[in-house]
Copies of this chain bind each other. A is one copy, B any other.
Amino acid sequence: MQRGEPITRERVTLQTIADKLGLSRTTISNAYSRPDQLNPALRQKILATAKEIGYSGPHAAARSLRRGRSGSIGVVFTESLVYAVTDAAALLFLRGIAEASEPSGTALLLLPAPHGRRAGPTAVLDAVVDGFLVYSVAEDDARMQAVLDRHLPTVMIDQPPRPQAGFVGIDDRAGGRAAAEHLLALGHRRFAVVTFPLVEDDYSGPVSLERQAAATFPISAARLAGYADALRAVGFAWEDVPVYETPLNLVASGEIAAGILLDRVPRPTAILAFSDLLAIGALRAAETRGLRVPQDLSVAGFDDSPGAATAQPPLTTVRQPLLDKGLVACRMILEGWPQGHPPSVLLPTELIVRASTGPAPP
């Protein structure tokens, strides 16, 4: 990309106007940035001359350098930007950010992830921003390190808190517990769990207790712990519950995983899924096997993403406040943390009971 300037025109700066009018650079600058500092008549004359010469106004980068602030916030998403502006959950989060940032006149810099997840950090390093919002980015993503290196105010959303950064998340453990308690109350005794990754090693398959204990994705660890809490509270053996891990959060992955779990003997009567997409996959697996939901099988999801209510049958799930996450995180960064310690907020979840769960079969 090139400048649109005509080639014939000399570069025009504050100094150009100043020279032409026999004034100082500072006065021209004031005409733009501090109108109360000069005679209104002179100001008009300056602006008129500037327009005539074709001055573009104070250079944004120079201004930002000198002022030490830019009036914008960088946003880093898990996946590619294209995915982020497609995914309903990410968009709700983005909308929350916009609701908080717009009234303050702050712009949002959406950072690209050019080569899939392991994106080059260049764009993050070059981002002219006053802070970062980081949404569920893997710990070893190069962009993560780049963000931390910048030493700017940063808020992590749905990812492990860092001492130097703010944090906004949900109480995944409580959410998991709520889902499991609901199914227990319906009389279920034989559970199965479909998770997304516990450790970032692209493993796929049954999860041992050792692997559960070694989980590095905190969201996953918390949800599992929540399920376990509920079961143990009524004296059930969590260690007997089959857990199946899928590497991707896709309907197809959920279908495969749930299929394997449903083919076990004795068959589980309730499936706890880590997301609505995985849960919808489980519904498909059940349909394939001629199982009726919820008569033969209950399925509970997580997120209450837009597809949950319209699934067949509508999905019982744990709602998380996606919009609020963006809103709270953005406010947090706008307000800063003058007190010292970066703040940390856990937002509540809510169990939404729909038609995909019912009494355990006799």
Contact = CB atoms under 8 A, between A and B. Distances in A.
A64 interface: yes
A82 B104 contact: no
A171 interface: no
Interface in A1-46: 1-5
Interface residues of A, number: 71
Contacts of A189: none
Contacts of A99: 82
A57 B150 contact: yes
A270 to B, nearest CB: 31
A149 B35 CA distance: 18
Interface stretch (A174-182, A228-236, A285-293, A334-342): A334-342
A108 interface: yes
B56 A149 contact: yes
A123 B105 contact: yes
A235 B237 CA distance: 80
A312 to B, nearest CB: 14
Interface stretch (A111-119, A204-212, A275-283): A111-119
Nearest to A166: B4
A111 B122 contact: no
B4 A154 contact: yes
A2 B62 contact: no
A48 to B, nearest CB: 13
Contact of A107 (B2, B94, B127): B127
Contacts of A72: 109, 123, 127-128
Contacts of A81: 98, 101-102, 108
Contacts of A3: 68, 151-153
A58 interface: yes
A234 B152 CA distance: 65
B98 A94 contact: no
A281 B71 CA distance: 38
A62 to B, nearest CB: 5
Interface in A84-99: 84-86, 91, 94-95, 98-99
Nearest to A60: B128
A249 interface: no
Contacts of A152: 3-4, 56
Contacts of A74: 107
B108 A60 contact: no
Nearest to A342: B4
B4 A153 contact: yes
Contact of A57 (B70, B71, B125): B125
A59 interface: yes
Given A102-B113, A112-B101, A112-B106, A130 B94 contact: no
The 3 A-B pairs at the shortest CB distance, nearest first, are namely A61-B65, A128-B128, A61-B64
Given A61-B64, A85-B98, A108-B110, 18 more contacts: A1-B131, A1-B333, A2-B336, A4-B151, A5-B151, A61-B65, A63-B126, A64-B64, A64-B126, A71-B126, A72-B123, A72-B127, A80-B102, A82-B95, A102-B112, A104-B112, A105-B120, A107-B110
